[in-house]
Amino acid sequence: MRFPSRILGGNAVFALIGAAALLTICAGAVAVITAFGNTPDSAWEKAAQAVNWYSLMVGISLAQSYLPVYLAHGQTRRRFGAQAAVAIGVFGPLLAALVTAGYLIESGIYRLIGWSQVLTRPHVFDEATQVPLVFLEYLIEFLAWLTAGAFIGSGFYRWGLGGLLTIPVAVGLVVLAEGAIGTELRLPILPHAIGVDVPQSLGTTLGVGLGTFLVGLALTWLIIRDIPVRNPKS
Amino acid sequence: MFDDRTPIYRQIADRIKADVLSEALKGDEQVMSTNQYAAFYRINPATAAKAFQQLVDEGVLYKRRGVGMFVSPDAREALRSERRKSFFAEVVDPMVAEAKTIGVPLSQVIERIRELEG
Amino acid sequence: MKIEVDDLVMRYGATTALDRLSLNLEGGKIYGLLGRNGSGKTTLLSVLAAFRRPTGGRVRIDGQPVFENARLTERISLIRDGGATVELGSAQEAVGFAEWLRPGFDGRYARSLMALFGLDPKKSVSGMSKGQRAALGVVMGLASRAPLTMFDEAYLGMDAPSRYAFYDALLSDYLANPRTIILSTHHIEEVASLFEEVVIIDKGRLVVHEESTRLLSRGTAVTGPAAQVEAFTTGLTVLNSRRLGPTTAATIYGDLDEARLAQAAAAGLELGPIPMQDLFVHLTGERR
């Protein structure tokens, strides 16, 4: 089987441009905050949350755009499923690496100016310079959001509005992953509404994170294993 | 390109026959392939092949394996004698009938024929 | 590719799109698939292309089941609605994607076809008109060079000159690279001469599967004085009869033997073939 380079290529370029744009926005925000005489907390910590939603969109587009094209070009659902899983498995680490790099850049700049990089949310890491931990946390998070997106996208492609029913399940996936990372749910829609308190040990974090990812893939496969290509509207 | 009255393959056959009669296609000369006919007339090659088969059955064309279709050496003579047989029934009789219908006196028709023979 | 369809059933909720349809195509030919709207054409083609799993029945292509069979589906192409291109990029990116996914896809041929249809390779697919998308779909189908290539109303929205360019390209590519082609269409008269065999389905069932010249020979237009036409057509299947003053033109369906032909000649009746479109209309019958 071939490596899903076509899926990854376009998305990776977009992710790099997006990361650069996000950095620029952070710099702008920090500039504004300092202009009002305040010392900012870590801006990147807040910016990194946007990447969750971006991951969700990428996941959705896998099912909505790429699945029908794969099938129309004579590929099987099995092959698409495998390629999509590989694509998520490569794209998640890529995004996590970009976010980790962003933290390092921010911490370098703050140190030059003499600010401290204050983190306002609970994390697996204490300092933004703990590269492996930062990477691990965001990896678990993005894999969950990407898979949740693929799951929702498949549901909507298959059942139209009936796909709404996939959303609670997808939220569950994300909640589980967030729970693996820390106690606070970083869901803008349901802030603090549901708390999954997982005892903090690196092993559990890793296990639950990986488990969530695999469960998400399995659930998505249940939807697409015999999914029909939609009939054209006529 | 085709009139709707006769099947396409018969029209192709008729055209090849006409070419043989007029000597545009001579004895033992190779005719275009079914594929060339198909592309030219925008028809399925099987339909073109049907026209050719009909001509082979009638002895107008013969097949050389692996080379193509050729005009039978005696095709023109055969077609001429066949046409001669039906000439009066198919050409002269309808002409006379038409002349009667529209009121052209037969003497005028005969006169015209003499003129043409010159 | 050899196609065997046995008792195929497809239901969408309460709607039955295919109703125990059986069909055998030996392959290597251009087939016309005709049927009215909602007759099940799209569903049948979707099942052949493994786009859908049928509710019941069996589909075998070259002797094997087709659903989720990668070795087969790689060799099958069904084009409808723009040929399912990624809408995130340009026409040439869509072609690149097809080249990447389909082992037999001919990218050079695709690019030459894009030029033929006046498609700008840099134009984004999502910004294309209906006709341009249809043309891109046709490009995808032809360049796939798939041993089983199917076009489901794929040229809907293409203007007449583009459609004729497509018919010419299809025929010449079929002559150069023989394969199994199935065309479903509403423009019957435009393409009828390309068909070697015709399949007509109605309400999810097979109505006719016949060699196209054979089917055409079944239909005869009988024209002449009303009394004679009436006498001649008694006992035959009359699909349609129209009268203009003393003249009647009747359409009959069925083979005419030598005796019948002689009888017609004696009665001074004019016999002629009828267009496939008329046969289709008569065979798929009543208004809905």
**Which pLDDT score is estimated for B72?**
93
pLDDT higher than threshold 90 for residue A116 = no
On whether residue C240 sits in a domain, the answer given is yes
Q: What is the mean pLDDT of residues B29-52?
A: 90
What value does the mean pLDDT take over residues B25-51? Answer: 90
C193 and C219: one domain?
no
Out of B7, B9, B44, the one facing C30 most closely (by C-beta) is B44
Q: What is the pLDDT of residue A43?
A: 86
Lowest mean pLDDT among A115-119, A190-194, A205-209, B7-11: A190-194
Tell me which of B8, B9, B42 to substitute to probe the interface with C (most C C-beta atoms closer than 10 Å): B42
Q: How far is C273 from chain B (nearest CA, A)?
A: 6
The three-class DSSP label of residue B30 is strand
Task: Look at residues B39, A114, A182, A71 and name the one whose alpha carbon lies nearest to residue C167.
Answer: B39
Indicate whether C117 belongs to any domain. yes
Q: Looking at residue A184, what is its pLDDT?
A: 54
- C129: nearest Cα among C160, C153, C157: C157
Tell me whether residue A197 is in a domain: yes
Grouping H, G, I as helix, E, B as strand and the rest as coil, residue B23 is coil
Chain C CB within 8 Å of residue A1 CB: no
Quote the CA–CA distance of C230 and C248 in Å, as a whole number: 8
pLDDT digits (tens, 9 = 90+) for C57-70: 999 999 999 999 99
Which of C171, C194, C213 lies at the smallest CB-CB distance from B9? C213
How far apart are the CA of C219 and the nearest CA of chain B, in angstroms?
11
Q: Are residues C270 and C194 in the same domain?
A: no
Range of the domain at A53: 5-224
Amino acid C157: pLDDT: 84
**Is B8 in contact with B2 (CB distance < 8 Å)?**
yes
Distance from CA of A234 to the nearest CA of C (A): 9
For residue C287, pLDDT beyond 80: no
Sequence-ordered list of residues with C-beta below 8 angstroms from that of C83, at least 6 positions apart, any chain: A72, C136, C137, C138, C139, C140, C141, C154
Contact B42 C216 (CB under 8 A): no
Pair (C185, C88) in one structural domain: yes
Q: Do C86 and C125 touch, CB atoms closer than 8 A?
A: yes
C52 touches C203 (CB < 8 A): no
Taking residues A11-33, report their average pLDDT.
83
Mean of the per-residue pLDDT values of chain A: 85
Percent of chain A with pLDDT over 70: 90
Query: CA dist C240 to C221, C233, C246, C279, Å?
Result: 9, 11, 17, 10
Answer yes or no: is C137 within a domain.
Answer: yes
A189 pLDDT tier (thresholds 50, 70, 90)? very low
In a domain, C113, yes or no: yes
Q: How far apart are CA A119 and CA A41, in angstroms?
A: 7
> pLDDT at residue C148 above 60?
yes
* Closest CA of chain C from B50, distance in Å: 9
Taking contacts as CB-CB distances below 8 angstroms, the residues of chain A near C50 are 71, 76
* Banded model confidence at residue A168, pLDDT cuts 50, 70, 90: very high
Whole-number Å distance between alpha carbons of C22 and C59: 9
Residue A229 covered by a domain:
no
Over residues A201-211, the pLDDT tens digits come to 788 888 888 99
| Strand, helix or coil for residue B69 | strand
Asked if C252 and C169 touch (Cβ cutoff 8 Å), the reply is no
Q: How far is CA C185 from the centre of its chain?
A: 5
Vertex C239: Cα angle to C234 and C241 (nearest 5) = 70
- Out of A65, A74, A234, name the one closest to residue C86 (CB): A65
Is the residue at C7 inside a domain? yes
Is the Cβ of C83 closer than 8 Å to some Cβ of chain A? yes
For the beta carbon of residue A169, count every other beta carbon within 10 angstroms.
Answer: 15
Say whether both C224 and C143 belong to one domain. Answer: no
Residue C87: exposed, middle, or buried by beta-carbon count in 10 A (0-12, 13-18, 19+)? Answer: middle
Contact call for C193 and B45, based on CB within 8 A: no
Name every chain A residue with its beta carbon within 8 A of the beta carbon of C98: 73
Token readout for A215 is 């469960």
Q: Is C126 found in the same domain as C22?
A: yes
Do C109 and C51 share a domain, yes or no?
A: yes
pLDDT of C84: 72
- Report pLDDT for A182: 72
Q: Tell me whether residue A67 is in a domain.
A: yes
Residue A234 falls inside a structural domain: no
Identify from C68, C101, C102 which residue to disrupt to test chain A contact, counting A C-beta atoms within 10 A and taking the largest count.
C101
Pick from A64, A50, A70, A69: nearest CA to A220: A64
Confidence of residue C82 (pLDDT cuts 50, 70, 90): low
Last residue of a domain, one of C203, C231, C256: C203
Residue B106: how many other CB atoms lie within 10 Å: 10
Q: State the pLDDT confidence band at A183, using cuts at 50, 70 and 90.
A: low
pLDDT digits (tens, 9 = 90+) for A34-81: 777 777 788 888 888 889 999 999 999 999 889 999 999 999 999 999
Element (H, E) at A85: helix A77-113
CATH number at residue C142: 3.40.50.300
pLDDT digits 0-9 by tens, C202-227: 999 999 999 998 888 888 889 989 88
In tens, the pLDDT along B69-103 reads 999 999 999 999 988 988 888 888 889 999 999 99
Residue B49 contacts C, CB cutoff 8 Å: no
pLDDT tops 50 at residue C143: yes
Domain termination residue (choose one: C203, C224, C257): C203
Helix (H) or strand (E) holding B64: strand B61-64
Mean pLDDT, chain C, whole residue set: 90
Read off the pLDDT of each residue in C75-84 and give the average, rounded to a whole number.
83
Interchain contact, C193 vs B8, CB within 8 Å = yes
Domain count, chain A: 1
Contact map slice: C 260-279 vs B, CB within 8 A = 272-275
The last residue of a domain, from among C182, C203, C224: C203
- Concatenate the DSSP letters of all residues of chain C into one string: --EEEEEEEEEETTEEEEEEEEEEE-SSSEEEEE--TTSSHHHHHHHHTTSS--SEEEEEETTEE-TT-HHHHTTEEEE-GGGS--TTSBHHHHHHHHHHH-TT--HHHHHHHHHHTT--TTSBGGG--HHHHHHHHHHHHHHH--SEEEEESTTTT--HHHHHHHHHHHHHHHHHS--EEEEE-S-HHHHGGG-SEEEEEETTEEEEEEEHHHHHHHEEEEEEEHHHHHHHHTTSEEEEEEEETTEEEEEEES---HHHHHHHHHTT-EEEE--HHHHHHHHT-S--
Distance, in Å, from the CA atom of A66 to the CA atom of B27, rounded to the nearest integer, reads 61
User: Within a domain: residue C98?
Assistant: yes
Shared domain for C169 and C244, answered yes or no, is no
Does B41 have pLDDT greater than 80? yes
Mean pLDDT of chain B: 87
Interface mutation vs chain C, best among A66, A73, A83, A229, most C CBs within 10 Å: A73
The ipTM assigned to this model is: 0.89
Q: Of C26, C164, C171, which to mutate for an interface test with B (greatest number of B Cβ within 10 Å)? A: C171
Q: Output the pLDDT for position C156.
A: 81
The answer to the question of residue C143 being in a domain is: yes
Tally of domains in chain C: 2
- Does A155 score more than 50 pLDDT? yes
- One domain for residues C19 and C107: yes
DSSP secondary structure code for residue B29 in this structure: P
* Structure confidence at residue C116 (pLDDT): 94
* Strands across the sheet containing C3-12: C15-25, C3-12, C56-61, C64-65
- Decide if C73 and A232 are in contact by the 8 Å CB cutoff: no
A232 within domain boundaries = no
Confirm if C236 and C272 have CB atoms less than 8 A apart: no
B85: tokens are 């047989």
Position of tokens 């060699």? C211
Residues C190 and C246 reside in one and the same domain:
no
Q: With a cut of 50, say whether residue A20 has pLDDT above it.
A: yes
Which residues, 6 or more positions from C67, have their beta carbon under 8 angstroms from its beta carbon? A226, C50, C53, C59
B–C CB contacts, 8 A cutoff, strictly below: 45
With respect to residue C261, please indicate whether it lies within any of the assigned structural domains: yes
CATH number at residue C263: 3.30.70.2020
Residue C266's domain spans which residues?
215-283
Cβ C91 vs Cβ C136: under 8 Å: yes
What is the Cα–Cα distance from A174 to B33, expressed in whole angstroms?
Answer: 67
Residue type, C246: P
Q: By the 8 A CB rule, do B27 and B73 touch?
A: yes
The pLDDT of C170-178, averaged and rounded, is 94
Q: Which residues pair with C78 in a beta bridge?
A: C150
Contacts with C73 from chain A: Cβ below 8 Å:
74-76
Using CA atoms, how far apart are residues A159 and C277, in angstroms rounded to an integer? Answer: 37
Neighbours of chain A (3+ CB pairs under 8 A): C
Please enumerate in sequence order all residues whose Cβ is within 8 A of that of A101, keeping only pairs 6 or more positions apart, or say none: A19
Long-range contacts of A176-179 (CB under 8 A, 24+ apart): A176/A144, A176/A208, A176/A211, A176/A212, A177/A140, A177/A141, A177/A143, A177/A144, A177/A145, A177/A208, A177/A209, A177/A212, A177/A213, A178/A141, A178/A144, A179/A208
